[in-house]
């Protein structure tokens, strides 16, 4: 038996596992301290009423012989795919039903999609970047090259014709920085990918936070994208499904003459049994008029949290981006601190937990990510603590 030695090339623990360990150790030594967690991108508001009712109703169906369901279609039920299809249409994008695949979340599919590509493909990722992009390709033994995202380019790097890559990762709104590509910038990536016969893996998990109609919520809103891009999206941040698990992936038939669409269907029917019927009924309710109204209220709640944090940073002249069309605020660590120094300082002095920017890559050093997904009460208290800290 031989192991996959590529695993020796990744960190022993996932970034957020390291953060959780350090917080747990501090809490054990300081049980009297209230720790406010603004690090991990997990939601805190409960599922909306429309979703809960749909989940309960679907559960009742599963308890009756006449409405019980066993194995469902691995690519998802049409009732949910049709809703997603209409959702895209509202934003000016037309998709075919069989281009949409229901999954248990964007993170899973971003890793699983790599089954379709040869090991000798070169992967291009921005730095800093969501660690899953790098780790999953390192596990597979692929060559990874980086393109710099930094303050000079507003953490929105554009293609370099001198760099040749086969698989390109783009996340917009970005995790961790919160930066958002406009249509002209994305068009440059699309043209680059089509010219080089590369594929863009476009992570749009945070598209629901975009409110400016000039900013694209889907890469397919730009001409030429269907021949070079696969899009991943999720109900996690849109509707609080981080613990319920549901998302979708779009593989256009115009991409590689439909070969990748057929391969992904074949892969899913072999390696995936589909998202539970009950969960998909809950996801369907997200698109009902009541569901849309309720989830928008939740999104506004998180946006207000982001505004509170951003206003505090502005007041004290702390450089930052994000928060406007994203749940994340990306700030420059004060006083020349490193990312982990600032993490330790916040934890020990004001008991606030964020995520060190260096955990997202070399260019993240000296930066820090805060999330607006906390409760309003905790966010307000965190801001009050930060006010005293910055003073």
Query: What is the pLDDT, as a whole number, of residue 1?
Result: 96
The structural domains of the chain, ordered by start, are: 13-42+291-390 (3.90.1150.10), 49-287 (3.40.640.10)
Q: What is the mean pLDDT of residues 237-260?
A: 98
State residue 333's pLDDT score.
97
Question: What is the mean predicted confidence (pLDDT) over 207-212?
Answer: 96
The overall average pLDDT reported for the chain is 96
Map tokens 């917080």 to a residue. 23
Residue 14 has pLDDT above 90, yes or no: no
**pLDDT, position 236:** 97
Span 101-159, pLDDT tens digits = 999 999 999 999 999 999 999 999 999 999 999 999 999 999 999 999 999 999 999 99
Mean pLDDT of the region 220-242: 98
Assess whether pLDDT exceeds 70 at residue 13.
no
Confidence of residue 54 (pLDDT cuts 50, 70, 90): very high
Whether 316 shows a pLDDT value over 80: the answer reads yes
34-49: pLDDT as tens digits: 999 999 889 999 999 9
pLDDT at residue 12 greater than cutoff 80? no
pLDDT digits (tens, 9 = 90+) for 150-163: 999 999 999 999 99
SS (H, E, C) the chain: CCCCHHHHHCCCCCHHHHHHHHHHHHHHHCCCCCCEECCCCCCCCCCCHHHHHHHHHHHHHHCCCCCCCCCCCCCCCHHHHHHHHHHHHHCCCCCCHHHEEEECCHHHHHHHHHHHCCCCCEEEEEECCCHHHHHHHHHHCCEEEEEECCHHHCCCCCCCCCCCCCEEEEECCCCCCCCCCCHHHHHHHHHHHHHHCCEEEEECCCHHHCCCCCCCCCHHHCCCHHHCEEEEEEHHHHHCCCCCCCEEEECCCCHHHHHHHHHHHHHHHHHCCCCCHHHHHHHHHHCCHHHHHHHHHHHHHHHHHHHHHHHHHHHCCCCEEECCCCCEEEEECHHHCCHHHHHHHHHHHHCEECEEHHHHCHHHCCEEEEECCCCHHHHHHHHHHHHHHHC
Give percent of the chain with pLDDT exceeding 90.
Answer: 95
What's the average model confidence in pLDDT over 271-290?
Answer: 98
């Amino acid at each position: 038996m031989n192991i996959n030695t590529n695993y020796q090339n990744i960190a022993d623990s996932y970034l957020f596992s390291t953060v959780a360990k350090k917080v747990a150790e501090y809490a054990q030594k300081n049980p009297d301290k209230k720790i406010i967690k603004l690090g991990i991108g997990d939601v805190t508001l409960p599922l909306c009423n429309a979703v809960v009712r749909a989940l309960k109703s679907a559960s009742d169906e599963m308890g009756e012989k006449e409405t019980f369901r066993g194995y469902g279609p691995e690519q998802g039920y049409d009732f949910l795919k049709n809703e997603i299809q209409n959702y895209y249409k509202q934003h000016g994008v037309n998709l075919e039903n069989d281009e949409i695949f229901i999954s248990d979340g964007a993170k899973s599919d971003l890793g699983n999609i790599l089954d379709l590509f040869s090991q000798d493909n070169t992967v291009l990722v921005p730095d800093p970047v969501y660690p899953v992009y790098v780790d999953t390709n390192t596990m597979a033994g692929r060559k990874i090259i980086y393109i710099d995202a930094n303050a000079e380019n507003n953490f929105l790097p554009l293609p370099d014709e001198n760099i040749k890559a086969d698989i390109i990762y783009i996340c917009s709104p970005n995790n961790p920085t919160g930066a958002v590509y406009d249509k002209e910038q994305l068009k440059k990536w699309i043209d680059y990918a089509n010219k080089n016969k590369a594929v863009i893996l476009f992570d749009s998990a945070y598209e629901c936070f975009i409110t400016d109609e000039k900013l694209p919520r889907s890469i397919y809103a730009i001409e030429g994208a269907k021949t070079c891009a696969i899009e991943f999206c999720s109900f996690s941040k849109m509707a609080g499904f981080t613990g319920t698990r549901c998302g979708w992936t779009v593989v256009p038939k115009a991409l590689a003459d439909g070969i990748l669409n057929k391969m992904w269907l074949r892969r899913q029917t072999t390696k995936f049994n589909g998202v539970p019927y009950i969960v998909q009924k809950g996801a369907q309710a997200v698109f009902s008029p009541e569901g849309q109204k309720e989830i928008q209220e939740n999104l506004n709640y998180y946006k207000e949290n982001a505004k509170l944090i951003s206003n505090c940073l502005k007041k004290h002249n702390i450089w930052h981006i994000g928060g406007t069309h994203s749940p994340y605020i990306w700030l420059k660590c004060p006083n020349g601190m490193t990312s982990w120094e600032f993490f330790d300082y916040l934890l020990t002095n004001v008991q606030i937990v964020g995520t060190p920017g260096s955990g997202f890559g070399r260019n993240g050093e000296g930066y820090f990510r805060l999330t607006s997904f906390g409760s309003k009460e905790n966010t307000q208290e965190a801001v009050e603590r930060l006010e005293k800290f910055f003073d």
